[in-house]
Structure 1
Amino acid sequence: MERILVSACLMGRRVRFDGGAKTSTSSVLATWREEGRLVPFCPEVEGGLAIPRPAAEIVGGDGSAVLAGEARVMTAGGGDVTAAFLSGARQALELARSQGIRMAILKEGSPSCGSLAVHSGDFTGTKVPGHGVTTALLESHGIRVFAEDALDAALEHLHTLEAR
């Protein structure tokens, strides 16, 4: 059975920067949870950041630029949390590899987990196209990442993986 990495906040764990969760009500995720497929993970917490913690955004690009050393992950107060984001991303990849995980469902918009968009880095609430740090690292190693609102595409991908 194919295992799936999933943002812990989508599973109801209170790991977000504000101490909250973004619990998904998706029947697809509920079914996968019942089947024992889901492996919850929060790269920001595993990278060493506290709950709650200051909100952070990628300044100077997206997650791919952070991986290349061309952008940083910063808090609004000027704190550099890049090392924690990189550590969490590496731990997510290590977990995925150790469990043979080939796909993930991650929280959209997050500087770690966004797969379509991230905040612009100016702390105005503006989003721009791009990937979070964990998403960029996972995808660069062949692990397909889907946003929590793209579960139809994720289900189709799961069927493709299991048909191989």
Structure 2
Amino acid sequence: MQLYLMRHGEAGHEAKYDRERSLTESGLHHVALMSEWLKSTGVKFQLVLVSPYLRTQQTWQEVSQHFPAPRKCKVLDELVPAADPEMAARLVLAYAEQYQAENVLVLSHMPLLGYMVSELVAGVEPPLFATSSVALVDIMGRHAELMWQQTAHSIS
């Protein structure tokens, strides 16, 4: 299974609650750049799992314009910034198995994404995720490997 972990685009700070922060114009632009780059790799997602926060929902709205509709898209409260990374990783794997998904996109936040990588890939320190960046974790049975991590700034 190919697990694509993506951080939301850059968000403004002018919301009353963290969950209500929306993407900036720059954030939308970088999400579009990353989406086009991902599309150029030929990937098609069967399953998309998204945090309920506004900025991740907006990120998914932009990403979804660049890809065919996945078989299943779910919003999960377990993908918020302060979620338990072990539980989040297990839940993502369980949904991937349930929906027999070979390519899974997870749209979430820091620090959760970094901690999820270290939960999935033995011996890897939690990587930092810039806004709009994506990491690919290749999972083969009980073995997982961090294949690459790409930022929108490096492709623009």
Higher-Rg structure is 1
Of Structure 1 and Structure 2, which has the larger fraction of its residues in strand? Answer: 2
Give the number of the structure with larger relative contact order, counting CA–CA contacts within 8 Å between residues 6 or more apart. Answer: 2
Please indicate, yes or no, whether the TM-score normalized by the shorter chain is above 0.5. Answer: no
Please, what TM-score do these two structures have when normalized by structure 1?
0.36
